[in-house]
Amino acid sequence: MKRIVLLCALSIITVWPLAACSNEVKMQYTSEKPTALDVLGEDSTADIFQLNDTIYKSDIKWAEKTEVTKSKKVGEIKKMSSDQYDFDNGTATKLSKGTVIYSTKERNEILLVSFKGKVKKYVALGEG
């Protein structure tokens, strides 16, 4: 019995200082909005555009089911590019130069465009 108590005490005395001196690394994650590089790196055929430093993407299932009403003009596509390194405000992968972008009355994160006779919904990609 003394042997077990002595062994437990010795174990505690040995392990306690090691645990106290451990080199624990504390990780801190920051959250940033995705860039065209991020989105096109995952899906090179993604239908996106950038407006006010935010990437907007089409074909988001929940947005397609959401009823929204066109509000006011908030921007316009200035150029078309699929080059993930040459992407800035006003650039789109599928929308033509001159395509007008509209806000919606109901949802700030959804924008609308008329493209090839069809109204398309684009959702702002937030921090993740």
pLDDT in tens, 73-95: 999 999 999 998 989 999 999 99
Can you name the residues that pair with 75 across neighbouring β-strands?
A: 101
Q: What is the pTM of this model?
A: 0.75
Residue 100 has which token pair?
């007008």
Give the pLDDT confidence of 95-105 residue by residue, as tens digits: 999 999 999 99
CATH number for region 36-124: 2.170.150
Per DSSP (E only), the strands in 41-97 are: 48-51, 54-58, 70-76, 79-80, 91-92
Residue 34: count of CB within 10 angstroms of its CB: 18
